[in-house]
Amino acid sequence: MSDAPTDTCLDGMHRLDGGTFTMGSDRFYPEEAPPRRIAVAPFWVDETPVTNRQFARFVDETGYRTVAEIPPSPKDYPGMDPAQMHAASLVFHKTRGPVDLDDSSAWWSFQPGASWRHPLGPESTIDDLLDHPVVHVSHIDAAAYAAWAGKRLPSEAEWEFAAQGGHDDRDYAWGDALAPGGTMMANYWQGLFPFANTQLDGWERTSPVRTYPANDYGLFDMIGNVWEWTDDWWALPAGKKPKKGGQSCCGLPDPRGGSLKGSFDPLIAQVRIGRKVIKGGSHLCAENYCQRYRPAARHPQTIETSTGHIGFRCVVREADLT
C-alpha cells in the first residue's frame, strides 16, 4: 500500500489543529515533571482505541499473528526458564486480600494461550467483546496494524495534546476532579487494588468504547479502560518549565522521546529490549495504586510485552497528507 494515507483511512478520526500546550505535571509522579511548553503540528487521531472488531479485520485480511501467539525466543531472554517458552500473555487476577503493592506478580500471571482472541486464556473468547478495545497487543503488533491502516502510532506529545481536549494543565481529561459530583467519567478501579473493586463504573475489566463521555475534542477513552501505546522511546522528560501561569507564546517542538539504547531497563541489564511510553492508565488504575488515569501520566513498557490492559489508537499527521 502507498505510504500516503487515503481519505478512507481518515474515517472515524478527528482532525486536531495542533498548537502549544503544557505537557507533563509536577503534582503526581516524578517521571512526569517538569511541566513544559510543547508544540505539536496538526494531525488526525482515532476517535476510540482500536477495537477487537477492527483488529479482527486486520488479522483476517493479512493473516497476522501477534507476539502473544508466538513462543518467545530463548536468545531474547537469557536465563529464562525453558518451561515458560510458550505462547502466552499477562492476565490480571484479583488477589484474596491486601498484598505488597511493589510485587506485581501477586496479580499478574503469564497465561499460556492468552491472546487478543482469548483475553483470559484459551477457553475465553471475544464474542461479546467486539466493541471493547483490543488487548494483548504488543507495540510490535500495534505498529503493524497502524502500517496496514495507512496510519502511525502517536508521539507521546500528540497523545497528551489529544487527551487534554483543548484545555491546558488539568489533572484529568475533564477537569481537576476525578469523579465530579460522584459521576464516573472513565473506566478505572474503584476501591482497594488489587482485591476489592466496588465497580461503581459498572465494569470489572474493559468496557465498550464510547461508554463514557468524550473529551472536548470528541475523543473517547483517552483516560482509563486500557493503556495506549505511543511511538516514543522511554526517557525522562527534559525541557523548560512554562512561564508563571502556564502561558507562553510558543513551545519546544514535539520532542519525540529518547533513544532505543536509553530506554533499556537498568534493573534487568541482561535483557536488551527497548521500552516505549504508554499513556492514559487503565481499568486497573486505582486511587491507592497507580493514579495514572490522567493525560500527563506515563509509564515504560517493553515493545514485545502484551497484557490484558494495554491497547492503542492511531494518528495521521497532516504532513503525511500532502
Q: What is the reported pLDDT for 254?
A: 87
Tell me how far the alpha carbon of residue 21 is from its chain's centroid. Answer: 20
Whole-prediction pTM value?
0.92
What pLDDT score does 244 carry? 47
Q: From CA 46, how far away is CA 58, in angstroms rounded?
A: 16
- In this predicted structure, what is the pLDDT of residue 160? 98
Q: Are strands 275-279 and 315-317 parallel, antiparallel or unpaired?
A: unpaired
Say if residues 22 and 168 touch (Cβ distance below 8 Å). Answer: yes
The residues, ordered by sequence, that sit 6+ positions from 36 with a Cβ below 8 Å of its Cβ are: 22, 23, 24, 237, 239, 240, 241, 242, 251, 252
Q: What is the pLDDT at residue 2? A: 39
First vs last Cα of the chain: how many Å apart?
16
Computed on alpha carbons and rounded to an integer, the radius of gyration of the chain in Å comes to 19
Output the CA–CA distances (angstroms, integers) from residue 312 to 13, 100, 127, 228, in the order listed.
14, 29, 20, 4
C-alpha cell at 255: 520532542
pLDDT at 158: 98
What is the model's pLDDT at position 90?
97
pLDDT value of residue 1? 34
Amino acid code (one letter) for 129: L
CB-count burial class (<10 Å; 0-12, 13-18, 19+) for 55: buried
pLDDT tens-place values along the chain, 322 residues long? 334 456 668 999 999 999 999 999 999 999 999 999 999 999 999 999 999 999 999 999 999 999 999 988 777 777 777 767 789 999 999 999 999 999 999 999 999 999 999 999 999 999 999 999 999 999 999 999 999 999 999 999 999 999 999 999 899 999 999 999 999 999 999 999 999 999 999 999 999 999 999 999 999 999 999 999 999 999 998 765 555 444 445 678 888 889 999 999 998 888 889 999 999 999 999 999 999 999 999 999 999 999 999 999 999 999 888 7
